[in-house]
Amino acid sequence: MNRIPGILLIVMLIAIVIRVLPKYWKGAEKVFRYVAFPAYILGILYLTIFSRFLSPREIYNLIFNMGYTPTESVIVGNRGSEWLAGKQGVRGIRLLLVGLSDPNSELYIIPSCLMNLLLFLPLGMLFRFVVPSGKKDRLWTLVCAGFVLLIECIQYFFGLGQFDILDVLFNTAGFIIGRKIYDHWLCPWAEDI
């Protein structure tokens, strides 16, 4: 629950940058298309999968210290080395559309769903720089849902977390809402607010 204000702030900052920057810099759309969009996808992959293996410092060492011979703990991190040693991590499937994952906390599901929704809002906003509005929107929504489904399957099969159908639904909903926010309020060629 304590991460929601930070993520909401990041989403708002991305929305402001998407709205303002193209008005003053013609190259902004290319930066959003070729840098920001792929970087955000890599950020999502890091948060959902790779953060369980590598810390930011370990990634820095792997990228910038090429002559350095890392130990196992630097390559896979503490949590990853336990998994590789044969100990399985969190593994489970949650297919409930309504219900609680923690019976002691009645409000657990609300912050989890909100976080999943907020995580994919910027991806939907940045997506419009990659594929213009109206170009096979349903197909790209299915591609996004498939991407989220792949992340959930990787988390399940490698013991990195549980497969949660609510994650798939709310991440895809965040993507759709992000696209609609861009189309209706952030589009650089829309009338000034």
Its domain, for residue 152, covers 4-186
Residue 20 located in a structural domain: yes
Q: Residue 79's pLDDT is what?
A: 45
Residue 192 located in a structural domain: no
Q: Residue 169's pLDDT is what?
A: 93
Model pLDDT for residues 159-180, shown as the tens digit of each residue: 777 888 888 999 999 999 999 9
Residue 159 located in a structural domain: yes
Residue 44 located in a structural domain: yes
Bridge partners of residue 140, in order along the sequence: none
Cα atoms in the 13 Å half-sphere on the side-chain side of 154: 13
Residue 193 located in a structural domain: no
Q: Distance between CA atoms of 95 and 102, rounded to whole angstroms?
A: 14
Please return the burial class of 24, using the count of CB atoms within 10 Å of its CB with bins 0-12, 13-18 and 19+. Answer: exposed
Whole-model pTM: value is 0.73
The length of the chain is 193
Residue 171 located in a structural domain: yes
Cα atoms in the 13 Å half-sphere on the side-chain side of 183: 14
Q: 147 falls in which pLDDT band (50, 70, 90)?
A: very high
**Per the structure, how many domains does the chain have?**
1
Residue 191 located in a structural domain: no
Q: Residue 90's pLDDT is what?
A: 53
Between CA 166 and CA 174, with CA 169 as vertex, the angle to 5 degrees is 120
- Residue 192: CB atoms within 10 A of its CB come to 4
Q: Residue 93's pLDDT is what?
A: 65
Residue 23 located in a structural domain: yes
Closest CA to 151 of 133, 174, 166, 167: 167
pLDDT at 74 over 70: no
